[in-house]
Structure formats: C-alpha cells, structure tokens
A and B are shown apart, each in its own frame.
Chain A
C-alpha cells in the first residue's frame, strides 16, 4: 500500500496522470536501510524505545444505551509528569470518538486525518461512514506504516446505522471488534474494575459511574496515569461529554476521611 500523505499534500501533481492509468496496485514503499551490523536488532531496539510511552489509561465499552468512552489526562516522559491536562479523547466527528494512547502526536495527527477522510466519504457518497469503515481506513493506514516507529493504540467508538460500534486499532496494524476494551499502562487495573462491574443493561448514569470508577482505580495504582477522568457517552444523536473529574477529588469521594477518636494527643513539653 502506498504511504498516505493525503493529509499533507496541498495540490495534486499535474504530471502524475499517465502512471495512474496503468497501475492497478502500487508497489510497497521502500526506504534506505541504516548501515548497521545487525539491522534486525537495531529495529527491535528502535521499537522498544517507543513502546513504554503508552503511559495512560483509556477504556470504552458498549452497553444497551450506546458506547461509554473514558480516559485519564496525564502525559509522562519517563518519570516526569509533563502534563496533567491532556485531551485523550479525540472528537473525530459529531458521532465518532477516538481515544489516544501511545505517541500523542501520532494519535492526534492520524485521528484528524481520519476525520478528513470521513468527511470526504460523506461528501462523495451522501451518507455517513460506518464505524467499521472508519476503523478500517485507520487500520489500513497504520498497517502501511508498520515497522516505521508509529505508536498508536486507539479505540474508535461511534454510533452508525447498525447501532453502537467499537473497534480497537493499533500501530502494529491490528484491528479488533469488541464490546469492552481498555488500552494503556493502567489498563490491567481498569479491566479489573470494569469487567467486575459490567452488565449489558445498565443505564447511562450507571455506565458513566462504572467508567469513572475504572479510570480512578487505574490512576490510583498506575504512576503513568492521573489528572482528570473524562467520561463521554456516544448515543444515537452523537457523542456528549458527561463528566471530567479530578482523580484526586474522586479519591476522597470514594474513600472519604473518617474522623476517628483520638487516643493520645501530643502536648507541648513544659519548658525544659
């Protein structure tokens, strides 16, 4: 598949026409290989360098009323918290959301590119693109960049003609359809709470509370997750942001400090 630079191009090249007539399939992209003794090992190192960067917790699940999407808002660079207010839920269009895990720039750029493609599809075909189609477009693009160092672990959630849709797409080129997903370094903790409390027929409030609690518990145990727990709901009329609560405050909401009786009080020692 050809590298997709449609988001970067300003005008189509004039002389490109003749070659389009004859090719049915494009050649795979080729690029120069660095001069190392062990290229495979070098490649693996390069990938490992990027991998731990998925310091985040995002989750999404389908239930009776639609799709619930939630994420934290911490960005970390190694042990340094670089930001507590990152928007990890990206609004692709009024009825589709994407979550961000991995490289922030990669996620933001490719989600915006996906938004462009979805809009072009609407204009050309006079109908909205399905969640299946949108996630497939993104997955195909990411697959064509496989091995080149993109780091994207995203969930595409939306509501289309067939009802609620949820797909997990990553930079390895994988794409999975599912009812519940959690992505990021805090995902094991989030899964624990989410899988325990999940029922298909929850109300919107119950589902939002479950999502919020799952994010909170992940931020409690995972150092790379924190900040604000945002919860979005995707229904038949599109998405709506429900809440955004600071996880520090959520902690005291779930585990309020109980005043307890004092056993001994410290008193000042009378001047020695």
Chain B
C-alpha cells in the first residue's frame, strides 16, 4: 500500500487514489463547519478554537465572501483555503466581466470543484486539503442554495450539511431535526447543530447569515443570546417530558 501513495497520479490496484483519501483525513481533522438552507436565508456556522490571548481575532475570519451574494466556509488546511478562495474570487469578477452578470452559486461551486479535481490529476502537486460549504442566492431567481465540495472535486447541493470534525454526528442531528425554516429559525437550527459538538458560547463559534441583502456576520453577543434561547428551549422540553407522568 505504501507504494501507491507517493504520486497522486497513480491508482492503487483496488482503485483508490490514496492522496485524495488522505486529504479527506486532513478535512476530518479540521474544525467543524455546518450549513443550513432556509426558504429565504442560508446560515453558515464554524467552530472557532479558543483564540490565543494575544491574537487579534478579527484577522482569522473563517467565513468569507466570494462575491456580494456568495459566501464560503471550509474545513481543513487553512492555507490551501486562502489560495482556493483567491482563485474563486477572481473567477467571480472575471465572470462579471465577460458576461456582465454575477455568477450563480452552482457555477462558482463547479469552478472550485473543477479546480480541486485538477490537482488530483496532475504531476508534482497534491490535492487541496479542504472541503468547502458554499452558500448564496441565485442572482436571477433569488433562490438560496447550499453546496459542498471535497478534495476529490465532487460537489452536490444540500438542504443542510456539515464537514470537518465530528461532521457525522452533526449530520445525524440535522437529518433528525431538519425541516423547512426561514429567518431566525434557520439560524437557531444551525447553531443547535453546531452546539452538539462544540462547547456552548459565542466565543467558540462563528456564525454568518446570507440573505438577499448580503452576508452578515453575527457578533458574539447575538450568538450568546441565541445559544441561551436554545438552552432554555432544551430545558423546557425536558421539563415537559418529566411533567406529564407526574400529573397522572
């Protein structure tokens, strides 16, 4: 097996591209990221490791803009992310220049996925070690979308998804609890999902909300408030579960 993971252009005898699979491992070690799509809003949430005391937290934004109407969050190698994001931003502007229209979410996702695939089929390079969650609104139809790409270069659209550390548990939670929501309800669902695997508190998660008007990063106080709401709801639900048997 060791002989087949040197150069990525080589398939193993049982059909694996080991470098791509190792890249997926790198993603699994990255911080958790979750995306939830609502009817008029898309929410991205990312786990934030507690910042070192002297670090300026404003310089480590994990949810970034690709264009006015498209945002991206990722899990994996952050340095690779910077390169991919820069190329995607250039492509967004290049598209505006050549066809005088903003990109659709699907188009830029296809571009990023295509870029990730290119690096799995060339000599002397390694794949990008990140999976991305891309959200945005279609500039023509105004429909919100959530897409995910991974190091192999595949992409697909999702109603809600998670990537990075503990993404399986988050996805299970979302599958159990997802329903069509809008506005603040969607934000709550995203934060609830993230809080399944992350310590509670505005300090440990970064949340951004994409509406037709654009991207808005929630500040710590807002996130704390919503987290508190969620806690209260949880307690009320547990109390309700315990109460009825007593009344009998």
**Chain A residues packing against B (C-beta within 8 Å):** 17-18, 20-21, 24, 124-125, 127, 129-130, 132-133, 136-137, 140, 161
Contacts and interface: CB of A to CB of B under 8 A. Distances in A.
B83 to A, nearest CB: 11
B6 to A, nearest CB: 18
Nearest to B122: A17
A135 to B, nearest CB: 9
A136 B98 contact: yes
24 contacts: A17-B118, A17-B121, A17-B122, A18-B122, A18-B123, A18-B124, A20-B118, A21-B118, A21-B119, A21-B125, A24-B90, A125-B107, A127-B140, A129-B99, A130-B100, A130-B101, A132-B99, A132-B100, A133-B98, A133-B101, A136-B98, A137-B98, A137-B99, A161-B140
Given A21-B119, A21-B122, A136 B100 contact: yes
Interface in B83-120: 87, 90, 98-101, 104, 106-107, 110, 118-119
A137 B107 CA distance: 17
A73 B188 CA distance: 67
A20 B122 CA distance: 10
Contacts of B99: 129-130, 132-133, 136-137
- Tier of interface size on chain B: 10 to 19
A255 B119 CA distance: 71
Given A124-B110, A132-B101, 8 more contacts: A17-B118, A18-B123, A21-B122, A24-B90, A130-B101, A133-B100, A136-B98, A140-B98
A125 B122 contact: no
A137 B101 CA distance: 12
Contacts of A132: 99-101
B109 to A, nearest CB: 12
Nearest to A139: B98
A253 B104 CA distance: 53
Contacts of A137: 98-99
Name the prevailing secondary structure of the A interface residues. helix
Contacts of A24: 87, 90
A222 B220 CA distance: 74
A59 B168 CA distance: 62
Contacts of B110: 124
Contacts of B124: 18
Nearest to A177: B100
Contacts of A136: 98-100
Contacts of B87: 24
Contacts of B125: 21
Interface in B159-180: none
B36 to A, nearest CB: 25
Nearest to B125: A21
Given A18-B124, A21-B118, A24-B90, A125 B104 contact: yes
Contacts of B90: 24
Contacts of B107: 125
Contacts of A125: 104, 106-107
Nearest to A140: B98
A133 B90 CA distance: 18
A24 B121 CA distance: 19
B19 to A, nearest CB: 15
A129 B104 CA distance: 13
Nearest to B87: A24
A137 B95 CA distance: 11
- Which 8 A-B pairs give the minimum distances between C-beta atoms? A133-B99, A132-B100, A17-B122, A136-B100, A136-B99, A136-B98, A18-B122, A21-B122
Contacts of A133: 98-101
Contacts of B123: 18
A136 B98 CA distance: 6
Contacts of B106: 125
A17 B125 CA distance: 12
B80 to A, nearest CB: 14
A17 B115 CA distance: 12
A68 B213 CA distance: 38
A124 B104 CA distance: 12
A179 to B, nearest CB: 18
Q: Which of B87, B98, B121 has the largest count of A CB atoms less than 10 A from its CB?
A: B98
Contacts of B121: 17
A107 B66 CA distance: 37
B39 to A, nearest CB: 22
A130 B101 CA distance: 9
Contacts of A130: 99-101
Contacts of A17: 118, 121-122
Nearest to A20: B118
Contacts of B118: 17, 20-21
A140 B101 CA distance: 15
